[in-house]
Amino acid sequence: MLIRPAVPDDAEAIAEVNAAAWKAAFAGVVSEEYLSSYDGAPQRRREDLLTMSSEAVQFVAEDGNRVVGWLLGHPSEDEDCHRGSVYEVRACYVAPTHWRAGAGRRLMQHLLTGLDRSRWREVVLWTPRDTAPTRAFYASLGFESDGKTAVMDRLGPVPIVRLRRTLTEDVAAL
């Protein structure tokens, strides 16, 4: 499996991975109406890849020549996070056909080991509260709830929780 920077030509594949992962992981948590119509927003993915800030990253996991995972990260925009030292995983999705095959772990390792420790001290991410497998995956990477919660109204409403991980030198051991 290869982890590489995403390029605009990956937008359709990223959208497919995103939609398939949402439909499989969030069934019963996110409204069925939303999930049934969600296509992963390919045009938005392309625009994001073309207009990324210099501090944002997007990586894909490839199995052969097929994109099977995607990660998007950028400096946290949460008001209670120090803007210069907290990075955020905005998206990390893997095609359900490749769950438990290492793509998600490899994407996260790639990000966590690549962040400049002289600047970035912590990494945060938001995930639906009621998705035990997703939360277990992030816990295996050292993420823990920091007590911050919110509700994503456009999804049903869906309670979400913020997870946080301190960046330490042991990231490579994940």
CATH of the domain at 99: 3.40.630.30
Q: Which domain holds residue 87?
A: 2-124
The answer to the question of residue 162 being in a domain is no
Q: What is the mean pLDDT of residues 118-137?
A: 94
The answer to the question of residue 174 being in a domain is no
- The reported pLDDT for the residue numbered 89 is 97
- The reported pLDDT for the residue numbered 69 is 97
Contact at 8 Å (CB) between 161 and 168? no
The reported pTM is 0.91
Q: Is the pLDDT of residue 172 over 60?
A: no
Share of the chain above pLDDT 90, in %: 71
Please name which of 117, 133, 125 lies closest in space to residue 21, comparing C-alpha atoms: 133
Structural domain count, the chain:
1
Q: Is the pLDDT of residue 156 over 80?
A: no
The answer to the question of residue 141 being in a domain is no
The answer to the question of residue 20 being in a domain is yes
The answer to the question of residue 172 being in a domain is no
Give burial (CB, 10 Å; 0-12/13-18/19+) of 58: buried
The answer to the question of residue 169 being in a domain is no
- The reported pLDDT for the residue numbered 56 is 92
DSSP 46-78: HHHHHS--TT-EEEEEEETTEEEEEEEEEE---
- Rounded to an integer, what distance in angstroms lies between the CA atom of residue 59 and that of residue 69? 8
Please name which of 140, 138, 142, 141 lies closest in space to residue 161, comparing C-alpha atoms: 138
- 153: confidence class by pLDDT, cuts 50, 70, 90: confident
